[in-house]
Each structure stands twice: as structure tokens, then as C-alpha cells.
Amino acid sequence: MRIAEVIVDITNSQVDKIFDYEIDEWGKVGMRVFVPFGNRIIQGFVINIKDNTTVEKSKLKKVISFVEDYVVIKEELIRLMHFMVKKYHLRYADCLRLFIPSEMRSDTIKPLFVSYVKINDKIDFQDYKKNIRANAKNQIALCNFLEQNILYKKTKLIEQFSRQTVKKLVDDNVLIESKETIYRQPDFNKIEKVSVVHTPLQNRAINTILSSNDTFLLFGVTGSGKTEVYMSVIEDVIKHGKTAIMLVPEISLTPQVLANFKARFGNEVAILHSGLSAGERFDEWQRILFNRAKIVVGARSAIFAPLENIGTIIIDEEHETSYISESNPRYNTFDIAKFRKDYNNCSLVLASATPSIDSFNKANCGEYKLIELPERVNGKKMPKIQIVDMLTELRNGNSGMFSSVLLNELDKCIKQKHQAMFFINRRGYSSFMRCMNCGYVAKCTDCDVSLVYHKSENKLKCHYCGKRYKALTKCPECGSESIRNGAIGTEQVVSKLKELYPNVNILRMDNDTTRTKNAYQKILTEFANSKPGILVGTQMIAKGHDFKDVTLVGIIDADQSLYHSDYKSTEKTFELITQMSGRAGRAKDEGIVILQTYAPRHYTYRFIANYDYKSFFIKELNLRKTTMFPPFTTILRLLFTAQVDETVREITKMCYNDIKKLRDDRLNDFVYLDVMKSPISKIKNKIRYQILARIKNENKDDIIEKIYDICDKYQNGKVSIFVEINPQNLS
């Protein structure tokens, strides 16, 4: 007897188990099946096939049929599922859903076929022709036509000779039909393949990556030609009969990038991102599944592409937080990439101009191999970054949002018909409070992170420990009463600029202006054609873009992310401003960056202005060490959500008590533990509580395992518990 282990496609913790079904000889591991479940018939995934079962014979049910006649989840991904379930405590069904296009589950997308017809060579065609009635003109014409032509699209024949005629010949078994799949492919701009001569540094990088199956950190300044390195590595890998995955943050998957890859690799590339239509996504995925595409370029979820025999995995802009999935199913793309690297025994390349502290630390410790590209390919210097003290401006009577230096540079830029980019760094839903006289920003006395102002309660809160403080009315440092909660928005900046330059095209790009499909592209194209022109935007404009005529970058309020309530805020500030600066002076004209701040002496800005990532890294790492933050510790957040406040609170409390017991047994492993309402205490009517812990790294796996066990104990239908390890934000 053949027994299939099946995961039913329902995401409900109660049924997230492996069920045994009898399956016939056609069944293979990785196929989707229809199975009886309770009194329904539902879809499931076969994850294993075995010879026997402990289920009683009378209770054993049979697989009814197969959803497709091919394997949709290959061996490697089934193993990956087990890995993810164990590592992140996910449900099987949630994992499996990641591995196939969502359209497949709803059954709304089908492969597209085209029918061809040709003459059946098993019959005597001439004989048949002779016997056609003389008045059947169409039929004769069709036969004559077919004699000259071997294979024809059925629809074309129908157009020419009528449906009836074609049908008659098919019915008479003179014409036979064959079906071929058509792959719907996303549009892309067709451009010529460009051949460049690699710089010696690029060559060294390419050769190093190709020489071993290690994990590499490619640390290359903006414009150092990293993309060229990726493409050459991929080219070599393909030449050796292997496949490649390249991940790019969604926002950087611009038509330009895709066109470059298509120009170089043609149909060997499949593209997976959210801008595709359902049909395109399904077909691109099918091309990968059936080994027709060998290179996958895509956003985060492309890491699950069903490629086999992978030769390299490349993660561009590795510092991007979007590589961490923050909603169910939660996972970290690096873990998945590492798993696939090990499974395929291939290279893994993480690349960035501003690597995350964590990755650079790993390179520093030898866990990753460091490769550097410290110069721009065209020899252009990085643009000068000029720091402007906004408090001095204020004292000199300029209370506006633009410093005199910035206004000056902007004037020059516009007169020369160049382009400018103004960056407003606005994150999240709330902001810090700042003294406009001395620049003081309130911090948590326990955590040394900035406090977040919660307008609704008029309180300052620490997002790490939950401690609450009175909102400031007077500066504790200098006594001034000019306290502002410091957020400037893109809209404000645009309207101010329009007053100044009514005849210049000024565009805005942020979450509000890019809601509709293609809006993002439209704005970028319009900006590219506006000379002079100004683009005002949030982080969206900071990365990847290659506008040749941008000579001025204005960072309106650099401090916004510096004072975000997050131990990574300096790291993120360094990254954002460096990336943003990289947009200026990329082609022939030199660029300048004006960085406006209320804290001009902050070490982060000094390192940014000198393009000195390494010194920044050393300083930052030391700080993390003294304050016991990652990578020296691990932060755990357990998020509890449910409709009813009492229910969540109760479960959270019980869970907390258990963890507290664990902490008391293992005092040495815990740096911090507390329970609190989440900073955003309610989302979509669900009440949110959280337990925060910081634990030392030595025994973290063991502790995390125990904490998962505790969560499992309390996880029930009413409350959902999410465990996050080193979460990106704590809201």
C-alpha cells in the first residue's frame, strides 16, 4: 500500500498536522491532491510517500484526485518547509503557500495553450481529397492550402476557412491537433546589450566569487558597477549548466534593471515581482518549474523560486529591511538563502554600498568573505556632502525649512537646467520631540534610544522597554520652551518649492502619490524628462536611481531617522543618507549634497560626510557592545493579538510568567525581559500586547526553543502569538 503524507491547504493551527491518505501509483511527493477532509473535499500537498501507516484501515481515506499532473513542490522546497516550520514555528500550510503563485490555489489562472493542426500522416491524404464533394469549396481550398503548409495555428485556419470546415477535417481524422503552452511574459523595454570592459576591481570580484562556494559580502560604493559583477557571475554559472537567483528590493526592480537583464540573457530570465499580472506571474513561475528559465530576478519572495541546481544566489542591497517578512509567515530571506546555498552547494553574494552592521560584522569575523569595490567605475569622485547646522540658521533669523546654502545651490542647479532631489526622511506614524533652541531630543533613561511622541495620549514612550514619560513643554537642557515635534512632510516641501520656482516642474514621490499601479514609473519618467526639475520624496527616491543630470541632493531633515526609537536608527541614517547622496553627480557634472541637521556634530554625520563606512562600523559596533544590543545579543519580541483585550492580556500574562520562571533559572542568559502593551496598541480592531526580551547569544537557540514551547502551550484559536527575532520595528 502507498501512503501519502498530506498537508491540507487550510491555515488553521488546529489542523496544521500531517495526515495520512492512501494514494495510487501516480502520486508523487510534491503534487497537489484533492482529499476528503471531514465532510468536505479540499486541496492538499503530498509531502512524503511511505509504505505503511498507523491509521486504522477502516479510518484510512483515499486521495481522490490530483490537482495537476505534475509536481509543484520539489524536494528541496519540501525540506525547506521543514526547516522553516522548525526555525520560525510556522504552520506547514503557510509555508507551502509561499512556494506556489497564489493564483494557483484559487484556481483562477490556467495555463494558456495554443492549438496547432497538421495533416495526419497515417491517412492517404490524396485519396481523401479526391472524394470531397465538388461543391464543398471551402474544404477543397483548405486541403490545397494544407498541402503547402505543414503546421498551422488553428485559429488562423478558422479565420481563413471557417470553423465548420476545420472541424469537419478534424472530425474526419484528416487533421490532428496538438497543443502547446504559451507563456505570458511581462513587457519590458527592449534595449541593446551593452558590453563593457571590466575594471580590474570588477574582474577581481568576479573571479573571487566564481572561485568558491562561500558567502560573500560585496561592499561596493554606489556606481562601482556591482550589477555588472552580478551579470558576469550569472553568465558563468549558466555556462556551467546551473541556475541563478538574484534578489532586488521591490522598489529597485525598475524597468531599467529588468531591461538590462533581458538584453543580456533573453528568455533565460524569469521575472517575479508584484507588478506582474496574475497570468504573467503564473507563467513565469511555470517556466522556472519546467526548467525553461534559468535565471530568476525578483523581489524577496523569488527566493522560493522552484529552480534546481542553483549555482549562485545574489542579494542586492542586502541592508534593505524589506528582506525580512514582518507579517505571517514571518521569515528572514537570508536564512532561506543560506539554506538553499547549503542544499545546492553554491555561492551566496550579499551586496551593498552600505552593508548592515550585522553583515559587516560577519565579514569582519570571517564568516563572510569580504570583497570591496571602493571606487566608481567611471572614476567620478563621490559628491561632496556639506553639513548645515539648522540651529545656526535659526539663530541667524532663518526659520524656514531650507537653509541659505541649500537655496543657493538650488538656484545654481535650476539656472544650469540640472535636476535636484530633495529627500524627506519620514518614517512611521509618529515622531520625536526636539528643542528648537539647543537641539535636545528626549531619550529613554534605560535604553538610550529616542522616545516617540504619542499624540493621542500626549506622552513620550520608549518602544523598547515601554517606559512612559511626560511630553516635553520645556527643554531640560537649556530651559527653552520652543519644543517641536519635528516632522516636515513632502507636501509642505513641494508647496514651498512651488512658491519659489513656479515655472519649474516639481514632482512628489511618497506613499500617497504612488498608490496606483505604474504611478511610481510615471513620476520617474516625468522627472527624467524635466530639466530643470525637482523631485521631492521619501526613502523611495533614495536608492538605485541613475539620473544623469542630478547635481544637487538636499537632505531636508537628516535627523528624522537618527532619532527614531530604534537601536538601528544610526545605522539606517547612515545607509539612507549615503544612498541618497549616491544619486548626485553620477555622470559628467559634479554633484553636491546639502545635509541639513540640528545635530551637526553627531558622529554619524561626520562619517557620512567622509564616506567612511568602516570607521562608522567600528564606532557603532562598540556602542552595541556596551549597550548590549544585537549583534551582541538577540532581541525577541512575542506579539499577542486578539479581538478581546481581556483575553490577550490574560494569555500574555500567563506566557510572561512562564518566561519569567525561565529567566530566573537562567539569569545569565537574559539581559532584559518585560511585558507591555504594544506601541500601536490596536490594529484593525485587534488588541496588541508584547513581551520583549534581550538574550545573550551563547545559548540563544536553546532559550528560543524553550520560549517557543511556552508559546505553543498558550497558542489557541482566540489569541495569535508571533515570535520575532531581532525585529525591524517594534510598533
Residues forming contacts to Zn ion in the complex (CB under 5 A) are: 435, 437-438, 440, 444, 446-447, 462, 464-465, 467, 475, 477-478, 480
Cis peptide leading into 329, omega within 30 of 0? Answer: yes
Q: Which of 27, 186, 220, 585 binds ligand ADP (CB under 6 A)?
A: 220
Q: Which is nearer to ligand ADP, 87 or 380 (CB)?
A: 380
Contact 311, 242 (CB under 8 A): yes
The amino acid sitting at 676 is M
The option from Zn ion, ligand ADP, none interacting with 224 (CB < 5 to 8 A, set by class) reads ligand ADP
Q: Which of 139, 208, 215, 222 binds ligand ADP (CB under 6 A)?
A: 222
Q: How far apart are CA 244 and CA 268, in angstroms?
A: 10
Q: How many CA atoms lie within 13 A of 2 on its CB side?
A: 12
Using the rule CB under 6 A, is 225 a contact of ligand ADP? Answer: yes
Contact 730, 640 (CB under 8 A): no
Using the rule CB under 6 A, is 317 a contact of ligand ADP? Answer: no
| Helix (H) or strand (E) run with residue 297 in it | strand 295-298
Q: Which is nearer to Zn ion, 375 or 448 (CB)?
A: 448
Instruction: In angstroms, give the least distance from the CB of 579 to ligand ADP.
Output: 10
- Any idea which residue has 570591496 for its cell? 372
Q: Which is nearer to ligand ADP, 288 or 541 (CB)?
A: 541
Q: Binding marks (x or -) toward ligand ADP, 639..678, rule CB under 6 A?
A: ----------------------------------------
The option from Zn ion, ligand ADP, none interacting with 228 (CB < 5 to 8 A, set by class) reads ligand ADP
Q: Binding marks (x or -) toward ligand ADP, 150..189, rule CB under 6 A?
A: ----------------------------------------
Q: Which is nearer to Zn ion, 492 or 627 (CB)?
A: 627
Long-range contacts of 139-142 (CB under 8 A, 24+ apart): 139/165, 139/168, 139/169, 142/166, 142/169
Q: How far apart are CA 240 and CA 242, in angstroms?
A: 6
Cell, residue 40: 468536505
Q: Which is nearer to Zn ion, 394 or 465 (CB)?
A: 465
Instruction: In angstroms, give the least distance from the CB of 367 to ligand ADP.
Output: 23
Q: Binding marks (x or -) toward ligand ADP, 490..529, rule CB under 6 A?
A: ----------------------------------------
| Helix (H) or strand (E) run with residue 7 in it | strand 3-8
Q: How far apart are CA 238 and CA 346, in angstroms?
A: 13
Output b/e per residue, 431-443; b: 16+ Cβ within 10 A.
Answer: bbbbbbbebbbbb
Contact 697, 681 (CB under 8 A): no
Distance of CA 259 to the CA centre of its chain: 20
The option from ligand ADP, Zn ion, none interacting with 177 (CB < 5 to 8 A, set by class) reads none
Using the rule CB under 6 A, is 226 a contact of ligand ADP? Answer: yes
**Binding to ligand ADP in span 187-206, by CB under 6 A:** 196-199, 202
Instruction: In angstroms, give the least distance from the CB of 153 to ligand ADP.
Output: 40
Using the rule CB under 6 A, is 224 a contact of ligand ADP? Answer: yes
Q: Which is nearer to ligand ADP, 105 or 198 (CB)?
A: 198
Q: How far apart are CA 413 and CA 475, in angstroms?
A: 38
Q: How far apart are CA 232 and CA 203, in angstroms?
A: 9
Contact 303, 545 (CB under 8 A): no
Torsion of CA 690, 695, 701, 705, to 10 degrees: -40
Q: Is 317 left (phi over 0), alpha (psi -120 to 50) or beta?
A: left
The option from ligand ADP, Zn ion, none interacting with 223 (CB < 5 to 8 A, set by class) reads ligand ADP
Using the rule CB under 6 A, is 136 a contact of ligand ADP? Answer: no
Q: Which is nearer to Zn ion, 409 or 557 (CB)?
A: 557
Instruction: In angstroms, give the least distance from the CB of 490 to ligand ADP.
Output: 25
Cell, residue 541: 527616491
- Radius of gyration for the chain, computed over Cα atoms and rounded to the nearest angstrom: 30
Q: Name the segment binding ligand ADP (CB under 6 A); options: 203-211, 222-230, 562-570, 608-616.
A: 222-230
Q: Binding marks (x or -) toward ligand ADP, 367..406, rule CB under 6 A?
A: ----------x-----------------------------
Q: Which is nearer to Zn ion, 458 or 473 (CB)?
A: 473
Ordered alpha helix ranges (H), 594-640:
603-609, 613-627
| Helix (DSSP H) and strand (DSSP E) numbers for the chain | 23, 31
Q: Which residues bind ligand ADP (CB under 6 A)?
A: 196-199, 202, 220, 222-228, 377
